[in-house]
Chains A and B, each alone.
Chain A
Amino acid sequence: MTTAEDRYRLLDKQPFVSTASVTSLAGTIHSLREILRHREMLGLLVRRDLKSRYKDSALGFVWTLIRPLTQLVIYYVVVGKFLQAERGIPEFAVYIFAGLTAYSLFSEVIGSATSSIVGNSGLIKKVYLPREVFPIASVGSALFNFIMQLAILLLATVVTWHVPFDVDLLYAIPGILVLLVYGLAFGLLLSAVNVYLRDIGYLVEVLLLLLLWASPIVYAWRFVRDVLGNGVLLEIYTDNPVTLSVLAFQKAFWTSSDSTPYPGLLLMRLVIAFVVGLVLLVVFQRVFSRLQGNFAQEL
């Protein structure tokens, strides 16, 4: 048991810490250190999210799989068969699921991060924590679901005898990184703005829907090229980070990718997108820390 005197001596050695958020770039490093200090709690938060989500449901985690599988069936049957989008796209199911896996990682990160601050208002109003942990924790639980989906995807490739074990599989890594960095960057921004303007939550839903169809998930990239031509418009379409990641996922997991045209320099585009995403992440983190000072009273 520490005596009062020991406690005073220990306290006397500690430097004073200001509670105010640092607004310069040094603040980012400070925030990063704070988050690292709370990494254990971050893990618990992720587990809390996952556990509580399916707590009283009989099927539990199976539900995380049912949703994407249903989506797959709908797109495969409706878009693929009825609308005949599968013409010229072999292994259409795997093709869709590769893109869908990438897209749903992004959409889940954005969706749950946006509501993370408002959803954790009970904590934010009462305890001091680096508030960034909440959007980050939603990235964590989204990643968990993503891994489940990825497992199904790989299983599907095995079942259909198109196991994608070649060098192209490595495309998945920059694909995931780009999704995560943009997901986190926009997740931070949107979660903070959502506190002040609850409309953001609804806006995000609409934008995510738009993003689903703005990426070559249920159709092929070359369809777009055929319509837009090789001009600036195609470049704008292609350099959407979600589109790039979707393309990277298809390259990685869909074995027929070699026989279809893909935008040139995909890897370089991914790297550039990643770097731009990092810059955005830093900028949005600054915005976040500006806005977070008033969270407790706005919630």
Chain B
Amino acid sequence: MGTTYYHALTFRDDICIGCSHCMMVCPTEAIRVKDGKAQMMDDHCIDCGACYKVCPVGAIVVEQDDFSCIEKFEHKVALVPALFTGQFPNNITRDEILQSIYDIGFDDVYEIEYSVDFLSEQYLEYFKDEDHEKPFISTFCPAVIRLIQVKFPTLIHNLMRIKAPLDFTAMYAKKSLIDKGLDADSIGVFYISPCAAKFVAIKSPIGEEKSVIDGVLNMNFVFNKSFKAIKSGVSKDRDDFHKALSKNAINWSLTGGETNNFPNVRSLAIDGINNVVEFLELLEDDEIEGVEFLEMRACDEGCAGGILCPGNRFLTVEKLKNRADFCQKKIENTGKTPAKKLRSYDDYLIQNAGVGKINARSIVKLADEVAEAMSKMKRMFEINGALPQVDCGICGAPSCQSFAEDIVRNKADIVQCIFVQKILEQNEKIDSKKSVEVMKSIWGDKKLDKNSLREELKDII
């Protein structure tokens, strides 16, 4: 109680039509409908973006920093995920795309996966440590971390306490500029994000005091700016080959991108939030034996399926795989080591690689004390047993089960169930006026206005 949780996803009441699509797809049942609008339960939301994908009217927005905030810094560094290059048509080259980022106002551009070759070595070191609990669950996807915090508290110790490529590349970018003589305060590092979850991870980091990232820009927003710059002709021609990425680095954010680095470790790559939930249940049930490493991502096709990616995820994957193979050949032909400059900062990065304690914050528990939770549970079973199990959502909750839970948590009233209303009406316990009132409290006045049906329906009803 009292704790507030930061979210990148917000619902705009002025646009929301109260259709409940978002409520029905939320993997943590974080959404209810009240007064005709979707409402988020702050402690339940993991910022996975499932709701954003299904909203038919665009009422869910992803927060980002104002673009002008880059002007606060003298030296502006952009960190772009490699999959950004997969968003554009085939005839636009990677060099043009990255050049366009300079053109829109940045002084330095790094692809985030620049630190992947370093990081995959750190993973192997982490795997070797006997103190770490198996299977190791990757902490690359922030939505997965939060899913485990709220719904799978028993698996919290399986989360790998190591930072993500974004953090390492940002630390390197900043430190290398400081070493060149720049003032730390004059350097602004900005992340161009494919999803909402990363935004929250930066603004409200888990297991860290403050993120090294100074601002976040949404990928679809930057895509528009970049595309425009490319269309009007990119300027300078840079030799950025020292920033070229290895095959594994380019593929990192895609499904299998982490596991591919560890052919000798028994690993599984799982994408899609519902697939992740299903697998975590099995893991918690102790039905999974011998798996050492789990790559888990909330989005289908990994980050290529991020909600802020303008391109189709399957085409993005195709483009990145092609680029990865091409780069690999180029690296083999030239004999150059990718990301060589970063590797001279290994010691510095290793010192700052760890993540603090990740705490469980169960949304599943009915009460802190077993006795109290048990009396609530008994009542919940009783109520749920009486409910129709249609999971229609008319009560304003996503399922009969969650509605029963809401009732015992004093967040809902049994009379919100449309079936209960009909029964009470038949038994003359409530009148139709009361039942309309209840429905209005869930779905708003407009949907239940008695004059709202159009003229043409008059003859039918």
Question: Bound pair: A and B?
Answer: no
Name A's B-contacting residues (CB within 8 A): none
